[in-house]
């Protein structure tokens, strides 16, 4: 009997190992378009991209597609964080630095060339049965997540406790939400329900009339209601025109005017093909 339970325990661990092992292998197959580019001159060279871990998966996918089109180009995508991305573009350590936020004031004098490749928007969602609350402010969202506001009554809704749903630590959506809504000092209340994906947050909110959560805008559907934030509807258009505030740009930064293979890559990212890849999970800018 001891052995059986031992094996059981090991199996769980084995599964955990298997899944941890393949976290960086999700690369999609992109249709080959080499016929189109046959007339172009052959590109070769290498590009180093470093920076935001939020941009990293997207950058990797774009790089993969680009390398399939031009097999002689080698693109190396690294993480590090948005600040690292800005710094390495400025110092020339990387050909392209990435950031998942606007440049800070102290970074603006660097004179970097900014290329907005995508936008990432987060919708604040509630249960469709929650008819009274349709509009919320950034300040209120922050207070809900820090625990200052705990009842729908305080937002003009029914007298019911808010079930606050959060993502797990390390999640990119949670990271963006923290950055944009919570700011530096605010701490999440410690009794938020944690769900491990956009989908399960949505499912939780869809079944609990008193729940409030945040999901990536691409995941919005009829089972939940996206709230207006500061009076603005959560739509991709409002993210692109800048009126919806819980959004962030994905930037690719270069020190000088991009040239050669780097320019070709950035052009590819902004092309229909590149933006199609962007559009799978994020908001297109073109």
Applying CB under 8 A, the residues found at the interface with other proteins are 1-2, 4-14, 16-17, 19-20, 23, 53, 79, 161, 163, 168-172, 190-196, 200, 203-204, 207-208, 210-211
Nearer to other proteins, 17 or 132 (CB): 17
Nearer to other proteins, 203 or 243 (CB): 203
Q: Least separation, in Å, of the C-beta of 122 and other proteins?
A: 16
Nearer to other proteins, 145 or 268 (CB): 145
Q: Least separation, in Å, of the C-beta of 286 and other proteins?
A: 29
Nearer to other proteins, 17 or 27 (CB): 17
**Which residue matches tokens 């070709």?**
264
The burial of 281, by beta-carbon neighbours within 10 Å (0-12 exposed, 13-18 middle, 19 or more buried), is given as: middle
Q: Least separation, in Å, of the C-beta of 6 and other proteins?
A: 7
Angle between helices 260-270 and 56-69 (to 10 degrees): 110
Q: How do beta strands 211-216 and 113-126 pair? A: antiparallel
Q: How do beta strands 247-254 and 225-226 pair? A: unpaired
Nearer to other proteins, 130 or 163 (CB): 163
Q: Are 152 and 134 in contact (CB under 8 A)?
A: no
Q: Least separation, in Å, of the C-beta of 13 and other proteins?
A: 5
The burial of 95, by beta-carbon neighbours within 10 Å (0-12 exposed, 13-18 middle, 19 or more buried), is given as: buried
Q: Torsion-angle region of residue 250: left (phi > 0), alpha (psi -120 to 50) or beta?
A: beta
Q: Least separation, in Å, of the C-beta of 30 and other proteins?
A: 23
């Amino acid at each position: 009997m001891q052995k059986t339970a031992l094996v059981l325990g090991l199996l769980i661990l084995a599964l955990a190992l298997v899944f941890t092992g393949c976290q960086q292998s999700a690369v999609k197959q992109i249709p080959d378009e080499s016929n189109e580019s046959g007339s172009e001159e052959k590109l070769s060279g290498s590009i180093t991209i470093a920076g935001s871990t939020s941009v990293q998966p997207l950058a990797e996918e774009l790089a993969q597609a680009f390398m399939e089109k031009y097999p002689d180009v080698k693109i190396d995508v690294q993480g590090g964080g948005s600040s690292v991305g800005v710094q390495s573009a400025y110092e020339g350590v990387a050909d392209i630095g990435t950031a998942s936020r606007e440049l800070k004031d102290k970074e603006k004098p660097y004179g970097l060339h900014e290329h907005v490749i995508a936008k990432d928007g987060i919708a604040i969602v509630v249960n469709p049965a929650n008819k009274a609350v349709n509009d919320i402010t950034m300040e209120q969202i922050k207070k809900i997540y820090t625990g200052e506001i705990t009842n729908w009554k305080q937002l003009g809704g029914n007298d019911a406790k808010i079930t606050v749903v959060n993502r797990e630590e390390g999640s990119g959506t949670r990271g963006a939400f923290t950055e944009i809504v919570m700011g530096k000092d605010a701490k999440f209340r410690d009794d938020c329900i944690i769900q491990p994906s956009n989908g399960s947050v949505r499912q939780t909110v869809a079944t609990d009339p008193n729940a409030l959560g945040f999901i990536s805008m691409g995941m919005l559907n009829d089972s939940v209601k996206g709230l207006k934030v500061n009076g603005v509807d959560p739509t991709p258009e409002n993210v692109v025109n800048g009126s919806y505030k819980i959004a962030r740009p994905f930037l690719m930064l270069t020190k000088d005017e991009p040239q050669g293979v780097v320019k070709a890559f950035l052009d590819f990212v902004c092309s229909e093909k590149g933006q199609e890849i962007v559009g799978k999970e994020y908001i297109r800018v073109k």
